[in-house]
Amino acid sequence: MRDRSGLKLAVAVLLCGSLSLGLTPHLSAEQPGSILTSTKGEREELALTVYQQNLGLVSEVRPLRLQPGLNQVNIQDVPKAIDPSSAQLQFMTQPEQIKILEHNFKYDVVNAKTLLQKYIGQSIELHEKIEGQIKEKITPATLLGVGDPNVYRIDNQLHLGHPGRVVVNSLPEGLTTEPQFSWLLKAEQAIKARCRITYLTGGLSWSAEYLAIVAPDEGSLSLEGWVSIDNQSGAAYEDASIKLLAGKLQRYSNTVRPMRGNMLMQRAAAAPLKEQALSEYQLYTLAGLSSLPDNQTKQIRLMQAASVPAKKIYVLENQASSIQYRRANQQKNKIPVKAMLKFVNQKADNLGMSLPQGRIRVFKADAEQALQLIGEDRLSHTPEGEEIKITLGEVHDIVGEYVQLEYTKLGQTAYQTKYQVTLRNHKSIPVKVTIQDHFSGDWRITEASVPFTKKDARTAEAIVKIAASGEEKITYTIRVER
């Protein structure tokens, strides 16, 4: 007969409700002489680095009073979204006198199902309300199975379900109300130790939000930036030193934790952020200590700048190949003209810090001085000295049209095409429109009614002035070899 002891052992391990990490090959059967439990109230330091990828790095310092011999140390108040494989324990006091033998993570958190499963085969009580009576009817029973319905033995009869609610006397061994770490340590002597515990957890993320208000003449703007820190990790972080890392890390896997309900938004008082470069990323440190309650989003000011020089530009962007015909074609193609706002992230213009990516909303006051949203875009990671361009939207009173006038094939791999762009300005003031056209292959503009510049391998650009209530027609010929 096959020996099933190995299978039984495996099943027992799966049912024990704890994850064991870093076991030593030969553990002593000796029971720990000291069992310590450390809660969040004993933290001496708490540091938190929040990433933009549903990830946080937690570092906390706790004191431990170790006795000579084996000590079991239970670390409570850790996040429900923790990655137990990332946990590290480092002793800051006499590390040479302390040996880590075993690391367990107890994740068998109590709920109705896990609690009842621990009571299978044991005596329980069924409490049933009786109409017209204050006192409940109590029926002793033995729980035989957990399901829908539960199975009970009552007076030597099997019952599938029961109208009463299940009442048990105590929390069974092996269940915990919250996830916790457990380390088995061996101390050479009695030590009043300080240890640093670090681990990764999901459920933490942050993002940047920007609010820009343009001046009436649209020649300048004020810019305000906020960071939103979202805590859905299943733990609160009180009086923590908080850092925010901007950038995308390469990760082996990234499991997204679902959002939970009842999320609150809290806007903190202005707390300046200090920035520093860290490897290929940017790190922002909040001044002082701050708290992140669980299931809450906190906003903290990132930056604020006034009188930032800005310029509005109009851009007509086209992909010539998208309207290319292999013959002359007079079909007109309307192309929207977009309004954009550009400014430079530099100290001379009251900016100059590295700006993390995020959403930017642009407002302008109307005739009654009420702010109106005039555009929204995504700002990319922008270091100091770089230009920022924000697309506001499509312009209704500047109209652009493309038409292909000629097409000539110049052999097996080359052709020549002539285009005409018509721009009509319905504004009461003159405007400048930047025409951007994109091509593929080896191309060059052989003839044009206005000067074009080659901005990059795929883009040609020209700036056209249009009088108030005026119209301009621009023609250009492109030769392409593939």
Residue 275's nearest CA partner among 216, 189, 355, 331 is: 355
Highest mean pLDDT (candidates 156-170, 273-287, 458-472) = 458-472
How many CA atoms lie within 13 Å of 420's alpha carbon, on the beta-carbon side?
A: 13
Residue 20 pLDDT exceeds 70: no
Give the pLDDT band (50/70/90) at residue 50. Answer: very high
Give me the pLDDT at residue 16, please: 35
- For the ranges 16-25, 143-152, 318-327, 440-449, which has the lowest average pLDDT? 16-25
Listed in order, strand segments (DSSP E) in 109-156 are 123-128, 137-145, 151-154
User: Looking at the DSSP assignment, which residues form a beta bridge with residue 362?
Assistant: 212, 375
- For the ranges 53-62, 260-269, 304-313, which has the lowest average pLDDT? 260-269
When comparing pLDDT for 300 and 482, which is higher?
A: 300
Residue range 312-322: mean pLDDT, rounded: 80
Residue 206's nearest CA partner among 394, 331, 54, 57 is: 54
Residue 43's nearest CA partner among 75, 20, 88 is: 75
- For the ranges 99-108, 292-301, 429-438, which has the lowest average pLDDT? 99-108
**Spans of all domains in the chain:** 16-109+176-201, 112-167, 225-302, 312-345+387-481
Give me the pLDDT at residue 411, please: 85
Give me the pLDDT at residue 324, please: 55
Give me the pLDDT at residue 441, please: 86
Highest mean pLDDT (candidates 15-24, 47-56, 76-85, 128-137) = 47-56
- For the ranges 177-186, 310-319, 455-464, which has the lowest average pLDDT? 177-186
Give the pLDDT band (50/70/90) at residue 272. Answer: low
Give me the pLDDT at residue 482, please: 80
Give me the pLDDT at residue 115, please: 79
Listed in order, strand segments (DSSP E) in 366-413 are 371-379, 387-409
Residue 326 pLDDT exceeds 70: no
Residue 408's nearest CA partner among 327, 475, 480, 476 is: 327
Contacts of residue 172, defined as CB under 8 A and 6 or more positions apart, other chains included, come to: 115, 118, 119
Residue range 345-373: mean pLDDT, rounded: 95
Residue 109 pLDDT exceeds 90: no
Residue 108 pLDDT exceeds 70: no
Burial of 437 (0-12, 13-18, 19+ CB in 10 A): buried
Give the tokens for residue 95. 């590390």
* Same fold across 16-109+176-201 and 312-345+387-481: yes
Distance CA 272, CA 353 (A): 12
Listed in order, strand segments (DSSP E) in 16-148 are 18-21, 34-38, 45-50, 56-66, 69-75, 82-91, 98-106, 123-128, 137-145
- For the ranges 108-117, 120-129, 164-173, 442-451, which has the lowest average pLDDT? 108-117
Query: Which helix H or strand E contains 5, and what residues bound it?
Result: helix 5-15
Give me the pLDDT at residue 105, please: 80
Listed in order, strand segments (DSSP E) in 268-295 are 273-278, 281-286, 290-292
Give me the torsion for CA of 265, 363, 351, 288, rounded to 10°: -10
Taking the CA atoms of 161, 165, 167 and 173 in sequence, report the sign of the dihedral they define: positive
Give me the pLDDT at residue 84, please: 87
Q: pLDDT digit string (tens) for 158-207?
A: 999 899 899 888 877 666 667 788 899 999 999 999 999 999 999 999 99
Distance CA 352, CA 395 (A): 31
Give me the pLDDT at residue 116, please: 82
Residue range 86-114: mean pLDDT, rounded: 84
Give the pLDDT band (50/70/90) at residue 256. Answer: very low
Give the pLDDT band (50/70/90) at residue 262. Answer: very low
Average pLDDT of every residue of the chain? 85
- What is the per-residue DSSP string for 337-356? EEEEEEEE--GGGT--SPBP
Q: What are phi and psi of 7, to 5 degrees?
A: -65, -45
Residue range 102-115: mean pLDDT, rounded: 74
Q: State whether CATH 2.60.40 applies to domain 16-109+176-201.
A: yes
When comparing pLDDT for 148 and 465, which is higher?
A: 465
Residue 356 pLDDT exceeds 50: yes
Cis peptide preceding 149, ω within 30 of 0 = yes
How many CA atoms lie within 13 Å of 21's alpha carbon, on the beta-carbon side?
A: 15
Fold classification of 312-345+387-481 is Immunoglobulin-like (2.60.40)
Give me the pLDDT at residue 281, please: 85
Q: What are phi and psi of 42, to 5 degrees?
A: -95, 0
Q: pLDDT digit string (tens) for 214-233?
A: 999 999 999 999 999 999 99
- For residue 41, give the 3-state DSSP assignment: helix
When comparing pLDDT for 434 and 248, which is higher?
A: 434
Direct distance between the N- and C-terminal alpha carbons of the chain, in angstroms, rounded to an integer? 74
* Residue 329 to residues 367, 418, 434, 471, Cα–Cα distance (Å): 46, 10, 24, 22
Q: Contact at 8 Å (CB) between 238 and 217? A: no
Q: Contact at 8 Å (CB) between 368 and 396? A: no
Percent of the chain with pLDDT over 70: 85
Q: What is the β-pairing status of strands 69-75 and 34-38?
A: parallel
Percent of the chain with pLDDT over 90: 57
